């Protein structure tokens, strides 16, 4: 599937030394960025990658005092559906160094204390990584709940969830919980942040089209020997249940979302608790799904749904 994304920024007013970091779709085994074009009244524009996770970042700068900053970025992305046969996972395969990095804790993804105790309880008696993943995925499906009062995709703050004793939130929260549990159980795991950009063949709630500004969605990936990075998305399985889907469809989608993923979603990055490149004065970000901006070194909020910021998608080809 080929999809055209158009990022459009049109701010009203005058801004001093405005700098903007825009998340771009990443290249991976299941997704490729084919083209990128831009226009606007900016002075500088360059492509960067954060040194830890390799997140692609478009850095844009308006020098001096700029009235009504404008920017349009058009990107064509080719995606394909992911289908992993979990029966082919190899418990004896050695983990590559790139995967081992995703066993470590970060500010929002702990691996010790309560989360380790819970992960060990859930996976007690299991030795094969794929069996541990199934147990953790099923546990999250059973115990996590979506909360409609949580803004956008949530914060993915697992320590706060554990402290509250409530496994509630939106996609970033629920899939961050799975990631933290997997890491605590010895399975490399990461959240993958992105956006829905085409309809789903399963249900309207799992897709988007045209104006996709508010269609952000985060998945999880878990590394299994013999397979590589395997998608897992209990958050969308729970979303389908909240949408009132029939039980048979919910079971089908829940099974599909452990090991498989539709091609209607575009991944930005898997960066968490990281520094932008070039470095921002505001310090590290929890995650990076919307533009981060600073004017004269002071953070400027540009979130999904903010006036003057939009993202549009349309199919570009087969």
Query: Which tens digit of pLDDT belongs to each residue from 99-143?
Result: 999 999 999 999 999 999 999 999 999 999 999 999 999 999 999
Average pLDDT over residues 290-308: 87
What are 107's two structure tokens? 């500010």
Average pLDDT over residues 42-49: 96
267 located within any domain:
no
Residue 163: pLDDT band with limits 50, 70, 90 = confident
Domain boundary among 225, 241, 262: 262
129 located within any domain:
yes
pLDDT at residue 149 above 80? no
Residue 283: pLDDT band with limits 50, 70, 90 = confident
On whether both 173 and 308 belong to a single domain, the answer is no
CB atoms within 10 A of CB 174: 31
Phi, then psi, of 277 in degrees rounded to 5: -135, 125
CA 47 to each of CA 7, 17, 34, 191, 279: distance values in angstroms, whole numbers, following the listed order: 15, 19, 15, 23, 14
Domain interval for residue 137: 83-262
- 50-63: per-residue pLDDT in tens? 988 999 999 999 99
On whether both 93 and 61 belong to a single domain, the answer is no
On whether both 44 and 170 belong to a single domain, the answer is no
pLDDT at residue 248 above 80? yes
CATH of the domain at 187: 3.10.620.30
- Strand 168-169 to strand 145-146: parallel, antiparallel, or no bridges (unpaired)? parallel
Phi, then psi, of 99 in degrees rounded to 5: -80, -35
On whether both 158 and 108 belong to a single domain, the answer is yes
pLDDT for residue 60: 98
Q: For residues 285 and 275, give the distance between their C-alpha atoms in angstroms, rounded to a whole number.
A: 6
pLDDT for residue 303: 75
* Residue matched to tokens 């590290």: 284
DSSP string, 106-152: BTTB--STHHHHHHHHHTTT--SHHHHHHHHHHHHHHH-EE-TTS-T
CA 240 to each of CA 142, 153, 168, 200, 257: distance values in angstroms, whole numbers, following the listed order: 14, 15, 16, 12, 11
Residues 292 and 280: beta-carbon distance below 8 Å: yes
Q: For residues 185 and 119, give the distance between their C-alpha atoms in angstroms, rounded to a whole number.
A: 6
Beta carbons within 8 Å of 124's beta carbon, 6+ residues apart:
none
On whether both 127 and 21 belong to a single domain, the answer is no
**DSSP bridge pairs for 5:** 75, 313
Q: What is the dihedral of CA 288, 294, 298, 302, to 10 degrees?
A: -60
What are 140's two structure tokens? 């999250």
Percent above pLDDT 70 for the chain: 98
pLDDT at residue 151 above 70? no
Beta carbons within 8 Å of 179's beta carbon, 6+ residues apart:
109, 189, 190, 191, 220, 222
On whether both 71 and 129 belong to a single domain, the answer is no
Q: What pTM was estimated for this model as a whole? A: 0.94
On whether both 248 and 127 belong to a single domain, the answer is yes
Total count of domains within the chain: 2
pLDDT for residue 317: 66
Residue 156: pLDDT band with limits 50, 70, 90 = confident
On whether both 118 and 232 belong to a single domain, the answer is yes
Residues 158 and 116: beta-carbon distance below 8 Å: no
pLDDT at residue 192 above 90? yes
pLDDT at residue 73 above 80? yes
CATH of the domain at 279: 2.60.40.2250
Q: For residues 213 and 219, give the distance between their C-alpha atoms in angstroms, rounded to a whole number.
A: 17
DSSP string, 53-93: T--EEEEEEEEEEEES-EEEEEEEEEE--EE--GGG--TTP
């Amino acid at each position: 599937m080929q999809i055209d994304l158009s990022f459009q920024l049109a701010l009203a007013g005058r801004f001093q030394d405005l700098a903007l970091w825009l998340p771009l779709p990443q290249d991976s085994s299941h997704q490729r960025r084919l083209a990128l074009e831009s226009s606007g009244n900016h002075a500088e524009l360059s492509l960067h990658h954060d040194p830890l996770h390799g997140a692609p970042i478009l850095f844009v700068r308006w020098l001096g005092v700029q009235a009504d900053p404008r920017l349009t970025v058009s990107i064509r992305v080719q995606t394909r559906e992911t289908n992993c046969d979990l029966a082919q996972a190899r418990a004896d395969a050695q983990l590559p160094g790139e995967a081992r990095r995703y066993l470590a804790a970060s500010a929002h993804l702990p691996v010790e204390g309560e989360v380790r105790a819970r992960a060990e309880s859930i996976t007690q008696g299991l030795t094969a990584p794929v069996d541990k993943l199934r147990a953790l995925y099923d546990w999250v499906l059973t115990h996590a709940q979506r909360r409609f009062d949580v803004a956008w995709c949530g914060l993915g703050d697992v320590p706060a969830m554990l402290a509250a004793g409530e496994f509630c939130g939106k996609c970033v929260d629920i899939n961050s919980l799975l990631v933290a549990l997997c890491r605590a159980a010895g399975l490399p795991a990461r959240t993958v942040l992105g956006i829905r950009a085409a309809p789903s063949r399963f249900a309207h709630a799992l897709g988007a089209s045209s104006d996709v500004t508010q269609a952000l969605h985060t998945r999880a990936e878990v590394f299994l020997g013999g397979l590589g990075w395997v998608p897992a998305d209990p958050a969308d399985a729970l979303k389908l249940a909240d949408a009132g889907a029939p039980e048979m469809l919910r079971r089908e989608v829940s099974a599909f979302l452990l090991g498989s993923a539709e091609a209607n979603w575009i991944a930005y990055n898997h960066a968490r608790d990281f520094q932008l490149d070039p470095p921002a004065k505001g310090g590290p970000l929890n995650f990076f799904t919307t533009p981060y901006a600073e004017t004269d070194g002071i953070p400027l909020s540009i979130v999904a749904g903010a006036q003057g910021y939009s993202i549009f998608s349309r199919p570009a080809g087969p």
